[in-house]
Structure 1
Amino acid sequence: MAAAKGVFLHHIARETSDLKRLAKFYQEVIGFEVIESPKFSEFEVVWLRVPPAFSLHLIERNPESRLPEGPLSSTEPIADPKNLPRGHHICFAVSNFDSFVQTLKEKGVEVFQKTQPDGKTKQVFFFDPDGNGLEVGSWEAPKI
């Protein structure tokens, strides 16, 4: 039996050197809304939410960090969405898959799209402006 009870995903954090650019991307492409963010003296943050409860916390990159800024800082050939590392992405589901993909293309976002063998499940893979992998699928919302 697991030690934790009542578990749910609360938020995911992404570090960035350009908070405004990344926040704008997630607002315009996924539909996140800005929510109240705490004030830290040593760094800036922007908190975003997709109702009812999922949050994305964008955190100003530590300029002293020796780690790569993001996946696109890597020497690996991952800039093409076909090469998105399968273990390094955030996935969302939308009810308007085809129009969502069209909007990505209109915004100049390079995408890799595929349909699963069942013929029903569609997926699109792409990167945010910092090179973080994103997947969006045509799955139905869970019945709660």
Structure 2
Amino acid sequence: MAVAKGACLNHISRESLDINVFGFERVESPKFEFKVIWLKISPDFALHLIERSPDTKLPEGPYSASSSVLDPTHLPRGHHVCFSVSNFDSFVQSLKDKGIETFQRSVPNRPVRQVFFFDPDGNGLEVASRDE
């Protein structure tokens, strides 16, 4: 896998039909095309609860409840673990060099870029940009 400089765990995202708050501090989140709650677990770690698409008929799974195939475009709304890196562009290029299918986007109204992809076991991953 690509070498990530300054990598740190950023957040874990879980999708649910009912995104209740568990008593952790709720922090402001960007406006996505679906409901999301960001919870501050510690100073440097967050849990993102993402509203599952109500029309999905698939069980909860490793890819995304909205897709039964390895399609990284579904990961922003699916289960994934996110790491932040200081060498975002070179990290993304190393994924491309290895032939790994990715989906990139930016966080609305924030200076953060994201790349979504699957590891060899089908686990959803996100890597986000972090200031060097």
- Higher relative CO (CA 8 A, sep ≥ 6), structure 1 or 2? 2
Higher strand share: 2
TM-score, normalised to structure 2, is 0.48
* TM-score with structure 1 setting the length: 0.45
Q: Which structure has more helix as a fraction of its residues?
A: 1
Q: Which structure has the bigger radius of gyration?
A: 1
